[in-house]
Amino acid sequence: MRKIAFAATLLSLIGSAAWAQIPVPAATPASQVATDNARIRHDNRKLRADRADLSADRQDLSREKANLASDRARRDRLQRAEDRAVASGDAASAARLEKRREAEQRDIGHDKREIRHDRKDLGKDEAELAHDQSKKNHDVHKRNKDASKL
């Protein structure tokens, strides 16, 4: 039984090794240019979509920064109102305003962290886009070289 299993395994390895030895026909320059063109068109569509995503992300980041500025203004207004309440001796109102201001400050801290993370992600995405663009440029150069052989 072992000999049969060993022989079958050996024959399958020899067969697969022989199959791997079969030469693959070389691509003609014309067919290579056609496949390169298809790849470049695909890369162009992908790059266009990536640029649109980056633009949307930049706009979102700008909106978040504007929202952060309005939150800071709201916190500052609460601080001034709290100061007025303390000056007038209204301790209950001052305590209530202080709690609202502290909650606003926590939200501001959260928003600042979120903006930092978004900027970091945006930078990574921009670097990836630049890398993809350089790869596409290399493909175009290769395609042009192949096309010159026609």
Mean pLDDT in consecutive groups of 10 residues from the start of the chain, 150 residues:
59 58 65 89 95 96 97 97 95 96 97 97 96 94 87
Residue type, 1: M
CA 65 to chain centroid: 20
CB 98 within 8 A of CB 82: yes
Residue 70 to residue 63: CA distance in whole angstroms: 11
Structure tokens at 114: 């979120």
CA distance 78 to 71: 11
Specify the pLDDT at position 3: 59
Nearest to 68 by CA among 116, 28, 24: 116
How many of the other CB atoms lie within 10 Å of CB of 101?
19
CA 70 to chain centre: 28
- Phi/psi-derived region of residue 49, left when phi > 0, alpha when psi is between -120 and 50, beta in every other case: alpha
Report the pLDDT value the prediction gives residue 99, as an integer from 0 to 100: 97
